[in-house]
Structure 1
Amino acid sequence: MSYHNLESRSIAFAAMCQAAYLVDKIASKGICPDAVAFNASLHSIMRTDASSPLEIFGGHESLKLGYQTVITQLDNENGSRNLQVTKYVAGLLALERKLSANSGTLNLLGERINQVNRQLATFEIDDNSVLSNLDSIYRDLISNLGPKIQVNGNPTYLQQEHTQHKIRALLLAGVRAAVLWRQVGGKRRQLFLSRKAIVHQIKLNLHRT
């Protein structure tokens, strides 16, 4: 079955927005506002052989925060969208382009993700040892591929090691979603030319949560 369709692209884009939203909130508030969304985003990194885009994230419910974020970003008549989310999504798309052009890094990424999968036999996805491992994957393999994503927030929280682990793990999840976005036919221009169609599909998805 082909997943080159609007529904699949809406799922991938919502996943990017979900990761970006969580990064912004953790960086600025120091706490994760939605544990279900956080865990679903991180688990998506591990699901490299899922049978469908939706299966990667465990169902529509796990992307509810992402759907709500897309609507805020693209269907906001008063213009009060979150500019940090917009910036982070743009950065994730830029890093994905660099990653997809680097087969050596892709192979290393697969090996490192397999290591984390083995770790999950003992630890939960939100255990600090797992978050630290995901953090190191992002720093070692992704961050230096292109312009670094500069995360803005409260310095008190940004200086905490555990917060840094969460943020980089989420950025890795965001890149994973950006890879999926490209795989199902997503292109940057669609975010401008097909915005209304994307928003309509996202609202349909949201009703399924």
Structure 2
Amino acid sequence: MKDRVLALAGLLQSLKIVRQIANNGEAESRPLEAVIESVFRIDADSTEAVYGGTANLWPGLRLLVEQIDGGSGRDPALTRMAATVLHLERRVSRNRALMAAIGRGIDDIARQRSHWGPTHPTVLSRLGELYASTISQVRPRVLVQGNPTYLGEPTVVAEIRAVLLAAVRAAVLWRQVGGSYWDLFLRRRAMAETARSLLR
């Protein structure tokens, strides 16, 4: 359960960052760095290692608790985006040629990430281009709403796509650790409690 909760937290954290960038043109650096780094950690030893430790997923864990518990903190639009990404990931993962192309692209960009860091504009731009040339070609498309001023800037659009790639990475991880739609319906209480214990 812990691994599934961390993967889902990674997904929600990524999507929250997408919306922050779309609305404000920027996002908090540490949560952003954690999700972008996850794209390059394909062979990590654990789910925690994908994100560099549980502490880097605290924003996502808090979001998970809010989404499950309901009340004023719940964000239905975020839930819809997460469901779209989970559906999209299943379609992408079935396409071996597409997955191979994504893998090659990430390997290529990894050299620049090692040199400049995960959130350097060039790295984010190249990840955004990779998303646009691969995952964006698959339906359903993830619709992002925000401030038209920022959404009209190519650098902002590229950053949003880079973080959407991280969201799909989290969805892949969710499936790899045994996550399924049944968890979202039947194990919500257990997931919320696990998230709370990780936050403590």
Q: TM-score, normalised by structure 2?
A: 0.96
2:102 to 109, 128, 134: 109
Task: Give the Cα–Cα distance (whole angstroms) in 2 for the partners of residues 52 and 29 of structure 1.
Answer: 33
Asked if residue 40 in structure 1 is aligned to residue 30 in structure 2, the reply is: no
5 Å-filtered alignment, 1:116-135, equals 116-135=109-128
Deviation at 1:167? 0.8
Aligned length: 200
1:26 alignment partner in structure 2: 21
Task: Give the Cα–Cα distance (whole angstroms) in 1 for the partners of residues 159 and 55 of structure 2.
Answer: 21
Task: Give the Cα–Cα distance (whole angstroms) in 2 for the partners of residues 85 and 191 of structure 1.
Answer: 14
2:89 alignment partner in structure 1: 96
Task: Give the Cα–Cα distance (whole angstroms) in 1 for the partners of residues 82 and 114 of structure 2.
Answer: 31
Task: Give the Cα–Cα distance (whole angstroms) in 2 for the partners of residues 84 and 143 of structure 1.
Answer: 20
2:48 alignment partner in structure 1: 54
Misfit runs of 4+, over 2 Å: none
SS of the aligned residue for 2:44 comes to coil
Deviation at 1:80? 4.4
Q: Which letter does structure 1 place at the counterpart of 2:161?
A: R
- After superposition, the C-alpha distances for 1:129-166 in whole angstroms (9 at most, x for unaligned) are 11110001111111111121110111111111221121
Deviates more, 1:23-32 or 1:148-157: 23-32
Deviation at 1:121? 2.9
SS of the aligned residue for 1:146 comes to coil
Asked if residue 159 in structure 1 is aligned to residue 152 in structure 2, the reply is: yes
Deviation at 1:206? 1.1
Task: Give the Cα–Cα distance (whole angstroms) in 1 for the partners of residues 198 and 162 of structure 2.
Answer: 25
**Residues 27, 153 of structure 1: 8 Å contact kept:** yes
- After superposition, the C-alpha distances for 1:3-41 in whole angstroms (9 at most, x for unaligned) are xxx000001000000001111121122221x21110000
Q: Which letter does structure 1 place at the counterpart of 2:22?
A: A
Which structure has the highest helix share of the two?
A: 2
RMSD value over aligned CA atoms?
A: 1.1
Runs of 5+ unmatched residues, structure 2 = none
Q: Which letter does structure 2 place at the counterpart of 1:38?
A: L
Asked if residue 9 in structure 1 is aligned to residue 4 in structure 2, the reply is: yes
Q: Which letter does structure 2 place at the counterpart of 1:149?
A: V
Task: Give the Cα–Cα distance (whole angstroms) in 1 for the partners of residues 161 and 196 of structure 2.
Answer: 29
1:137 alignment partner in structure 2: 130
Task: Give the Cα–Cα distance (whole angstroms) in 2 for the partners of residues 172 and 47 of structure 1.
Answer: 13
**Residues 24, 84 of structure 1: 8 Å contact kept:** no
